[in-house]
Amino acid sequence: MSDKKTTGIWKVISASSMGTMIEWYDFYIFGSLAVVLSTKFFPSDNPTAAFLSTLATFAAGFVVRPFGALFFGRLGDLIGRKYTFMVTLMLMGGATFVIGCIPSYETIGYAAPILVLILRLLQGLALGGEYGGAATYVAEHAPKNEKGYWTSWIQTTATVGLFISLMVILITKGLMSKEAFEDWGWRVPFWVSILMVFISYMIRKNMHESPVFAKAKSEGKTSTNPLKESFGHKYNLKFVLLALFGATMGQGVVWYTGQFYAMNFLKTVQSIDSSQVDTLLGIALLLGTPFFVVFGWLSDKVGRKVIMMGGMLLAILCYRPIYRMMYASTDLATKTEVVDQTKVVPSIKEIDATKMDSIYTTTKAYTDGTTVEEIKTIHFEAGKVMLDDKGKDKIETKVTKKINSSDKWFLVLMVFIQVIFVTMVYGPIAAFLVEMFPVKIRYTSMSLPYHVGNGIFGGLLPAISTYFVTTAKDAGDAEFYLEGLWYPIGIAAVCFIIGMIYIDRKINTLHD
Amino acid sequence: MNAVKKYLGIVWIALAIAIAYFSIGIFGGKLTSGKQDDLVFGIIIFFILLPMVVTGLTIFGWYAVTDEYEED
């Protein structure tokens, strides 16, 4: 490729990637702050239910992504790629900023979670329209045999967006006290979005329309009804279904297990300090991100299928051993407590005239450097211990572990391995999808299977897997912490079989 | 390979029916258990995932059976 062409495509990629990265940042900031948001926007009398409700609200954004794909995909195939993803960018930025301004449940009651849900749905619609447009736009600028390499830069944006969301949270936490962050500081990452969106808008507004789309439009070859042509004709619908069940469904669950489920697992199952988790996850993401480009480039040489299916197979085989080792690394039953350093501090918190909480804060140290803070809260009403919805004493125990350096680096390695699986399934997929569908209905056709696979099958994973873990724990299952993995393993296994058998090389040479 | 693709189509249709049957059997009580976490899970399974998996996999299986994925 000539220098001029290379410079041109770098401009296209940087402008597209920046906006897409910001949209992922906006989308994931909600998930990264799920634990604190659950205390702000939902009733606090049942923390598990509040956390699951937050995950469900987070998931609602994923569920509407396919509708965004249909709505904005249709617009993109009718009026053009550039204008459509400018609209999605503004919609996303506005919704994110407003989430950061909503008063808490304590102030406005149920209006708070309802407003959050509405704005979360707008975020989902915007993202549904954004990604397909950016991937299509870059692919339509890229040379024929280098689509995997060039579109892989767009593929890094999701992970970079998640990484930046973690970094903004960490920096914000570092600039204020824990109390201030939990009081109002969690809003800052949402407000930061508006600044980034403005910068991206300024960059994007000078971009030109995709040359392939512009040519098709000038020749009158664009679609008049992209939805009907995409999903109303058997010839195209069969490829949409194959893309979903043979590629994006498995890719979605591998993506969300390796990044989001890993984060939730470290925070809520292993009970590791939130800032330590954000740091170690950030390191693993940073080390893993270049592999999106490596596998995208490699897919131009050896084919998309072998890399994507390889990543899926490795994930299926390795998830249980990886999570077993992760859990074991911080299991307090295998550590030796330094008993004379244990401290218990009792306190009383008056709720109202009849209710009070008796709180016991216990700090423990272990010989390997791990420290644990255990806060046991016993709820009293009229002098008696209150009962929960199962008829048991209402006692909550919150454990927070601060892990030592070697455990931290071991967990970085475990998450990094999972990120490598992510880069294998996700690096080549934009090129894979773009090549499956013709120009005139490409935006619509590729967006839907991507957002159903990634958004619904993947995005619902944290809620489903957390539920499996919680249920298995309540039932006394000794390996409860592995139960959440059956969902990604099952979905990825079906997807692997379908992909291996039904995807052939010819599919990706149909619309070069 | 074309024959494998075709006959596996029956497996995908059977899998869709099996998923629907077992999901209703195993998770059916979640919507009416009265617990909030069960309700959230039940809604996700019954109103989002199940319709998508069952409908999509059935159509995919049917296309496979009718040789739509046959290589020339």
ipTM score for this prediction: 0.93
Each residue's pLDDT tens digit, A394-421? 788 889 999 999 999 999 999 999 999 9
Show Cβ contacts of residue A452 under 8 Å, excluding neighbours closer than 6 positions.
A66, A244, A248, A249, B52
pLDDT value at residue A137: 85
Element (H, E) at A373: strand A371-381
**Is the model's pLDDT at A511 over the cut of 60?**
no
What total number of domains does chain B contain?
Answer: 1
Please name the residues in contact with A511: beta carbons below 8 A apart, sequence gap of 6 or more.
A434, A435, A436, A437, A438, A439, A442
Residues A117-143: tens digit of each pLDDT: 889 899 889 888 888 888 888 888 888
- The two three-digit tokens of residue A503, written as one number: 């995807």
* pLDDT tens-place string over residues A265-296: 999 899 999 889 989 999 999 999 999 999 99
Statement: residue B51 has pLDDT above 60: yes
pLDDT at A389: 66
In a domain, B71, yes or no: no
Compute the Cα dihedral for B20, A230, A91, A263 and give only its sign: positive
Q: Kindly tell me if the per-residue pLDDT of A5 is higher than 80.
A: no
**DSSP assignment, residue A393?**
B
Query: Which chain A residues are Cβ-neighbours of B52 within 8 angstroms?
Result: 452, 456
Domain spans, chain A: 3-330+405-509, 339-401
CB atoms within 10 A of CB A135: 28
pLDDT value for A41 = 84
pLDDT of the residue at A462: 83
Which tens digits make up the pLDDT trace of A450-465? 999 998 999 889 888 9
Mean pLDDT in residue range A205-233: 80
Predicted confidence band of residue A114 (pLDDT cuts 50, 70, 90): confident
Q: How does pLDDT run across A337-390, given as a tens digit for each residue?
A: 999 999 999 999 888 888 888 999 999 999 999 999 999 998 888 888 888 766
CB contact under 8 A, A456 and B1: no
Residue A131 pLDDT = 83
Rounded to a whole number of angstroms, the distance from the CA of B71 to the nearest CA of chain A is: 8
The shortest CB-CB distance from A245 to any of B60, B68, B71 is to: B60
Domain containing residue B52: 2-65
B51-to-A176, A467, B27, B46 alpha-carbon distances in Å? 46, 20, 14, 7
List, for residues A15-61, the tens digit of each pLDDT value. Answer: 888 878 887 887 778 877 877 888 888 776 666 667 667 767 777 88
Shortest distance, CA B25 to any CA of chain A (angstroms): 17
Q: What is the pLDDT of residues A137-154, one digit of tens each?
A: 888 888 888 999 999 998
Tell me what pLDDT residue A510 has: 53
Specify if B47 maps to a domain. yes
Note the pLDDT of residue A6: 64
Q: Where are the alpha helices (DSSP H) in A33-46?
A: 34-41
Is residue B24, in this structure, part of any structural domain at all? yes
Domain annotation covers residue B70:
no
The most distant pair of C-alpha atoms in chain B lies apart, rounded to whole Å, by 55
Q: Of A245, A253, A509, which to mutate for an interface test with B (greatest number of B Cβ within 10 Å)? A: A245
Q: In this predicted structure, which of A77-86, A374-383, B53-62 has the lowest mean pLDDT?
A: A77-86
Q: Please report which confidence band the pLDDT of residue A223 belongs to, taking 50, 70 and 90 as the band edges.
A: confident
The confidence score (pLDDT) of residue A283 equals: 95
Position B11 in a domain: yes
CA distance A5 to A232: 38
As a CATH number, domain A3-330+405-509 is: 1.20.1250.20
Is B61 part of a structural domain of the chain?
Answer: yes
Flag whether residue A238 sits within 8 Å of chain B, measured between CB atoms.
yes
